[in-house]
Amino acid sequence: MFWRRREQDDQHEEPEAQEPVDEAPAPAAPPTPTTVPRPARGRSGMGGLGLRSRPSGLGARLRAILGAGAATEETWEEIEEALVSGDVGAEATLELVDAARERYRRAGGRSGADARGALAAEIRERLERSGSGQFELGPAPSVILFVGVNGTGKTTTIAKLAARLRAEDRSVALAAADTFRAAAIEQLRIWGEQLGIPVVAQRAGADPGAVAFDAMAAAESRRLDAVLVDTAGRLQNKTQLMAELAKIRRVIERRLPDQPRHVLLVLDATTGQNGLLQAEAFSREAGVTGIVLTKLDGTAKGGVAVAVADRLGVPIQFVGVGEELGDLAPFDPGAYVDWLLAG
């Protein structure tokens, strides 16, 4: 059982007293989580993300546009339309196409394949420039705060990352700071039991800041490598909920300076440009340091990753490609571009 420590510091606002927290019982010898190592990138480029190729996607449309001849003014306009419809976004598309055209011209491009190559290189460079795919946990204890709206797969993503960390022999705890929904607390407890990972939790309706405080105390006392903190799924335009998120962050910072080390925004790739709006709001209010892009295995066009990384400079760190614990892959810019433009 974790118990919240009280600190008598009149200069700092600490959460009001709460009930003792619960900890999911950890078996004496927990089995290794069912995870998989980062998939080897296949010759097609899809293996790097574990994604299926999409012959009817953006790449197929670009192939039809480019054809075998040289890229003309009309060709580049059609490429712009294809990218916008693929959720890359108008602003990012214009910049990408202008840069790709210049690269194509400088290289003496003569074919549609040359134009596609120039476009792929520009997308990849923008993703790499933002630091995408370069996630480092950092020195212990490392606090990872997860934010996002309901329905993006946030709690499941936490379990997947926890499983990966456990597979790397890291000591991990989960913190159920989404106290607005009893189901969210129960879901995290179930994951904790399944993975053999302790869960810091309180009753539904408790102060989320108090849960965060307890989790930081646990990180110190148990010398944990990482604490993964779940938060309530809040819409980016809900001022009160965003303020609550800022409070959780303040509590963490007071207990452990320079934390949270990572603030990961979980985005549903199927939401398209609404995902960019979410990223802008959460970056402003919560200081997002990275993106986890989920549901890329479904109907997502996937172009929103380009818009987020390019416009906000926020790196894409992981992608969710399925429902299993092993279906969380470190983001690979090269493999992503291959998948996005596959035809």
pTM of this structure: 0.78
Neighbours of 113 (CB within 10 A): 13
CA-CA distance, 218 to 198, in Å (whole number)?
10
Which tokens sit at 331?
Answer: 């983001």
Burial class (CB in 10 A: 0-12, 13-18, 19+), 316: buried
Q: Which amino acid appears at position 266 of this protein? A: V
Which tokens sit at 172?
Answer: 């991990």
> Beta strand pairing status for 328-330 and 316-320?
antiparallel
Q: What is the dihedral of CA 243, 248, 252, 253, to 10 degrees?
A: 0
Does residue 141 have a cis peptide bond before it, meaning omega lies within 30 degrees of 0?
yes
Place of tokens 């700071």: 177
Neighbours of 204 (CB within 10 A): 15
CA-CA distance, 210 to 207, in Å (whole number)?
5
CA-CA distance, 29 to 218, in Å (whole number)?
21
DSSP labels, 72-113? -HHHHHHHHHHHHHTTS-HHHHHHHHHHHHHHHHHTT--SHH
The answer to whether 26 and 317 are in contact (CB under 8 A) is no
Neighbours of 195 (CB within 10 A): 25
Residues across the chain: 343
Q: Which amino acid appears at position 201 of this protein? A: A
Reading the chain (343 residues) residue by residue, the pLDDT tens digits are 333 333 444 444 444 444 444 544 444 444 433 333 333 333 333 445 555 555 446 767 877 887 767 778 888 999 899 888 888 888 889 999 999 999 999 998 888 888 888 999 999 998 988 887 778 888 889 999 999 888 888 899 999 999 999 999 999 999 999 888 788 899 999 999 999 999 998 888 888 899 999 999 999 999 999 999 999 876 655 677 777 888 898 999 888 988 899 999 998 887 777 777 888 888 887 888 999 988 876 555 677 788 888 878 888 999 888 788 888 888 888 888 888 776 5
| Cα angle, residue 18 at apex, residues 12 and 22 outer, rounded to 5° | 120
CA-CA distance, 325 to 331, in Å (whole number)?
16
Neighbours of 50 (CB within 10 A): 23
Q: Please give the backbone phi and psi of residue 226, each rounded to the nearest 5 degrees, phi first.
A: -155, 145
Closest to 130 (Cα-Cα) out of 272, 311, 264, 292: 311
Tell me what pLDDT residue 2 has.
Answer: 38
- Contacts of residue 339, Cβ cutoff 8 Å, sequence gap at least 6: 45, 46, 49, 51, 53, 54, 302
